[in-house]
Structure 1
Amino acid sequence: MNGAQAVIRTLVAGGVEVCFANPGTSEMHFVAALDDVPEMRAVLTLFEGVATGAADGYARMTGRPAATLLHLGPGLGNGLANLHNARRARVPLVNVVGDHALGHKRLDAPLESDIDAVAGTVSGWVRRSLTTGDVGADTTDAIAAARGWPGQVATLVLPADVSWSEGAAVGPVRHARPAPRVPDDGIEGLADVLGPSTVLFLGGTALQEAGLRAAAKVAAGTGTRLLAETFPARMQRGAGLPDVLKLPYPPDGARKQLDGVEHLVLAGAVEPVAFFGYPGTDGRLVPEGCTVHVLATPAEEVVAALQALADRVAADATPQVAEVRRPELPTGRLDLRAFAEVVGALLPERAVVVDEAVTSGYFLPGATVGAPGHDWLTLTGGAIGQGLPVATGAAVADPSRPVIALQADGSAMYTIQALWTQAREQLDVTTVVCDNGAYAILAAELENVGAASGGERAGRLLDLGGPALDFVALATGMGVPATRATTAEELAAQFRAALAEPGPHLIDAVLQR
């Protein structure tokens, strides 16, 4: 078999069954080999950032890596922002990047670039297959690297002649290593610091059901307060599950949440810092005098550590959980509160919510906490344009679950091509565009950094009008049925109708500023 066939067969043998692709000339033998391996599902995307974001969303929902197929250095560059988000989400992802044939590289052709260097900025593992005989083992190593604990991006650079040459063999199957467990003495040592002046700061798998219940037992038995990292990769929430507040994004809000905390215990999370540096402020959010402790790092088995801690300090405690509670459907003005109340009132069971609403999502946590159990996926790395691709990958991962993409208008335009893939694959994704006609987050940051001038020219760089974006036309032009809502009643009716029909839909929710 040739090298491309060996790569795909090794991926499938290692549990990688989906490839999100935007290929070019150097990847054509990989494309042709897909016909020989029907077990590999190939999903075409129209932009590399959609491919990488979809692979991220798939991994968040399955815990398994998908593959991407990208074209040379420029294709990798186009996918880089969502590979950055995937790295911050700590998900497993096998990133296959085609390259020139080895003999062609010396000619410095127009698409020649340093792929390895670019890949290294977002990958925990990078390797270039130099011979066809190596390609099976290299692919096995890529899968193993991606599936380490925690997950990471593993990039395999595949020269065209290594793909087309014969003599390759399928690589061996290697089982993923379990996460290392936290020693008992590390758990015992934390028992004395728990109490009302302590925050147990949760991240990673601690925000899925088993971890949440264990952490809530610790809180119930000791008075310790719970907080979640600001942008979790996947958080399970809703009625019947513990309600854990996320640390706010604005630094002032985060500092207020942590004010007076004497001990901060990290459970699958890292020490919180501000997203940006601001004039005259310290980017570190932990209060002065607060001691930081580590129960479990993201690379350790945090759920088992939380369960052991709960058994040690709160064996008989009953954790508090959110009660069934839905907001009333609003009427009239379609503002941020009404938008959140519509989502909370109608959110279906087992929904997967992909939240890139940005400033429009202020009221969403409170409006959805009592809805039926659901998963919440967020913008882990802060590189906008993640929402629509992640929703695409989540829908591929589990077609039985409705996916709701709550999407800010400005960041939607980074990866709007994801709608075409949703239409082609007939994915059950309902997108609600939060259409306020502005980069509202940047207007706030202009003030935060002390640069606000109120000038017309600065304002034009934050405004999305002139011409206004027509999301209904954009969606229908890519095969996704779309409507526009300007009142709360219209949004509720359109959201309900979209959820009742299979396949993708988009609602342009025109929000009053």
Structure 2
Amino acid sequence: MNGAESLVQTLADQGVDICFANPGTSEMHFLKALENPRMRSVLCLFEGVCTGAADGYYRMKGRPASTLLHLGPGLANGLANIHNAKRASSGMVNIVGEHSAAHLKYDPPLTSDIEGLARPLSHWVRRVGSSRAVAWDVAAAVEKASEHAGQIATLILPGDASWQEAGEPVVPPRAFSAPKAPEAARVEHVAQVLRSGESTLIVLAGHSTRGRAIELAGKLKAATGCRIATQFFSARIERGAGRVTLERIPYAVGQAVEYLKGFKHIITVETTEPIAFFSYPDKPSLLKSPGTSVHSLVEIGEDGVAGLEMLVEAVGATNTPALLQQPADAAPPAGALGPASIAQALAAALPEHCILVDESLTTGRETMGLTVGAAPHDLINNMGGSIGYGTPVATGAALACPERRVFCMVGDGSAMYTIQSLWTQAREGLNVTTIIFANNSYAILKAEYANMGAGEPGERALAMIDIDRPRIDWLAMAKSMGVPAVAVDTAEAFHKAMADSVNEAGPCLIEVRL
């Protein structure tokens, strides 16, 4: 057994059974080892698709995937979506190929400081020292990636460590530790805040935006009159009819400040206090009012469910039923496309238990609040803000949950960063409906231009924002990668295209012409 075979066998033994790969020469022995039937290998045509897909896989599966990246430049191509994954606390194991130790001394063209590239966006970085150390190092990487919350582990694999004899894998004992519950004194302090009757907002994030945790939050809302919300972006939320509804703190600074000013207390669960996404002249970074107190119930990395259970018991809400969202009017919309009709079309077309990946930076900003009464579904947002995350994350989510339809809403500017995802979706036969909102510009930047107080954009500034010369032919783009596509320009046609996609296996693309 050589080092590459030891690596793949150890990954599978540790529960990592999928690899999003973009291999190069140094990884050919690893490529051969991926023929192991216990490992599913998925080819991606750009490294940012590999790392984004690993992020989406973790968000839905709850366990890390691996990536295969080619030396420093391959890792660099994947860093933007590693950044997004880190902000979403998505665990992943990045395997980065490297020249053999004997070859590195000659400074070949692809030589780079891989550790230096990896360290700012990784929680754990290690270079394999020999083929016999491969299994031990891989097991350590998987353990780090599997922590609560998920971590980014990056393992650098020299070519000679792949092709040399490794012997039977030797791994460290798995030291799994469950996440800790918050301290009892902290829970009691928060309980006193809720008992005070003063206006209080509980802000949920991490694992606490789904499952038992949101049910418990709903009990607190019903029993104490507090309100419950998420930050504007969340890694994954379970929402829709029959579930507890979480409000959403607005993105725009002025709207967020207005939303938060009525609260005397903010309680955080697996998150920090609300802050502005960017800094703006004459606008605050901290969004709460000066007189508002912030109280941490559950720190990031602690057990949100345990903390909420303790708080529910402390305020005597154990037997209080949570208030659940009623179904919205499912009637399909008619007429022109706009935020309201797009939201209505979504609410009517989303099937039960689908996955909605949102990277519609302008079109979807107002519509998501109008879809809370749709059929039960999971919503995934971009936590890190680096655009080009949507289509890769949708790809990984579809591989994690092949029985569920994935809808990916993305602006045309964002989609061009990682459009290669369509090819992987076609190759793997994934049930992904990609919705491109085509306004032929980076529309979000027009709004931010005004927010920044930069004045009226001139011809040259607008040329850096508009992407209509030439216009992107989304139907041809999809067809070239084996994905059926249709263009729509009315609410009726948009709803029909989404509903039709649910009944067809495999990927498709809908261009929404705005």
TM-score by length of 2: 0.97
| Counterpart mapping for 1:155-174 below 5 A | 155-172=154-171, 174=174
Is the Cα–Cα contact under 8 Å of residues 132 and 169 in structure 2 kept in the other structure?
no
Q: Which residue matches 1:460? A: 463
Instruction: Give how far 1:213 is off.
Output: 0.9
For the residue of structure 1 that corresponds to 2:433, the secondary structure is: strand
Amino acid corresponding to residue 105 of structure 1 in structure 2: L
**Are residues 1:341 and 2:344 paired?**
yes
**Structure 1: any 5+ residue segments left out of the alignment?**
none
Q: Which residue matches 1:176? A: 176
Q: Which residue matches 1:210? A: 212
Amino acid corresponding to residue 126 of structure 1 in structure 2: V
For the residue of structure 2 that corresponds to 1:76, the secondary structure is: helix
The whole-number CA distance in structure 1 between the counterparts of 2:410 and 2:176 is 34
Q: Which residue matches 1:392? A: 395
The C-alpha deviation readout for 1:140-197, integer Å capped at 9, x for no partner, is 1000000111111100010111111112432436263211111222211211112442
The whole-number CA distance in structure 1 between the counterparts of 2:175 and 2:363 is 43
Is the Cα–Cα contact under 8 Å of residues 330 and 374 in structure 2 kept in the other structure?
no
The C-alpha deviation readout for 1:343-394, integer Å capped at 9, x for no partner, is 1111001100001111110343233211121100011100010000000000
**Are residues 1:362 and 2:361 paired?**
no
The whole-number CA distance in structure 1 between the counterparts of 2:399 and 2:393 is 10
| Counterpart mapping for 1:81-480 below 5 A | 81-172=80-171, 174=174, 176-194=176-194, 195-313=197-315, 314-480=317-483
Amino acid corresponding to residue 16 of structure 1 in structure 2: V
Is the Cα–Cα contact under 8 Å of residues 196 and 222 in structure 1 kept in the other structure?
no
Identity %: 46
Q: Which residue matches 1:29? A: 29
Is the Cα–Cα contact under 8 Å of residues 439 and 463 in structure 1 kept in the other structure?
yes
Is the Cα–Cα contact under 8 Å of residues 134 and 168 in structure 1 kept in the other structure?
no
The whole-number CA distance in structure 1 between the counterparts of 2:3 and 2:238 is 41
**Are residues 1:3 and 2:9 paired?**
no
For the residue of structure 1 that corresponds to 2:50, the secondary structure is: helix
Change (3 A) 1:238 1:294: same
Deviates more, 1:9-18 or 1:180-189: 180-189
Q: Which residue matches 1:13? A: 13
The whole-number CA distance in structure 1 between the counterparts of 2:94 and 2:231 is 27
The C-alpha deviation readout for 1:58-110, integer Å capped at 9, x for no partner, is 00001100000000000000000000000000011001100111111111111
Amino acid corresponding to residue 162 of structure 2 in structure 1: S
The whole-number CA distance in structure 1 between the counterparts of 2:491 and 2:201 is 38
Amino acid corresponding to residue 241 of structure 2 in structure 1: A
Is the Cα–Cα contact under 8 Å of residues 429 and 506 in structure 2 kept in the other structure?
yes
For the residue of structure 1 that corresponds to 2:121, the secondary structure is: coil
Is the Cα–Cα contact under 8 Å of residues 14 and 174 in structure 1 kept in the other structure?
no
The whole-number CA distance in structure 1 between the counterparts of 2:149 and 2:167 is 30
Is the Cα–Cα contact under 8 Å of residues 198 and 264 in structure 2 kept in the other structure?
no
Change (3 A) 1:169 1:230: farther
| Total equivalences in the alignment | 510
Is the Cα–Cα contact under 8 Å of residues 275 and 285 in structure 2 kept in the other structure?
yes
Instruction: Give how far 1:290 is off.
Output: 1.8
Q: Which residue matches 1:500? A: 503
The whole-number CA distance in structure 1 between the counterparts of 2:45 and 2:147 is 30
| Counterpart mapping for 1:50-65 below 5 A | 50-65=49-64
The whole-number CA distance in structure 1 between the counterparts of 2:369 and 2:330 is 9
Instruction: Give how far 1:454 is off.
Output: 3.0
Amino acid corresponding to residue 249 of structure 1 in structure 2: Y
The whole-number CA distance in structure 1 between the counterparts of 2:111 and 2:334 is 57
Is the Cα–Cα contact under 8 Å of residues 196 and 225 in structure 1 kept in the other structure?
no
TM-score by length of 1: 0.97
For the residue of structure 2 that corresponds to 1:98, the secondary structure is: strand
Is the Cα–Cα contact under 8 Å of residues 204 and 229 in structure 2 kept in the other structure?
yes
Instruction: Give how far 1:207 is off.
Output: 0.2
Is the Cα–Cα contact under 8 Å of residues 326 and 368 in structure 1 kept in the other structure?
no
Amino acid corresponding to residue 257 of structure 2 in structure 1: R
The whole-number CA distance in structure 2 between the counterparts of 1:494 and 1:167 is 53
Instruction: Give how far 1:302 is off.
Output: 0.7
The whole-number CA distance in structure 2 between the counterparts of 1:323 and 1:347 is 16
Amino acid corresponding to residue 111 of structure 2 in structure 1: E
The whole-number CA distance in structure 1 between the counterparts of 2:460 and 2:494 is 34
Is the Cα–Cα contact under 8 Å of residues 71 and 99 in structure 1 kept in the other structure?
yes
Amino acid corresponding to residue 17 of structure 2 in structure 1: E
Is the Cα–Cα contact under 8 Å of residues 347 and 375 in structure 2 kept in the other structure?
no
**Structure 2: any 5+ residue segments left out of the alignment?**
none
The whole-number CA distance in structure 2 between the counterparts of 1:225 and 1:263 is 11
The whole-number CA distance in structure 2 between the counterparts of 1:242 and 1:167 is 52
The C-alpha deviation readout for 1:392-433, integer Å capped at 9, x for no partner, is 000000110111111111100000000000000000001111
Is the Cα–Cα contact under 8 Å of residues 327 and 367 in structure 1 kept in the other structure?
no
The C-alpha deviation readout for 1:27-86, integer Å capped at 9, x for no partner, is 111001112x11100000000000000000000001100000000000000000000000
Amino acid corresponding to residue 70 of structure 2 in structure 1: H
Is the Cα–Cα contact under 8 Å of residues 135 and 168 in structure 1 kept in the other structure?
no
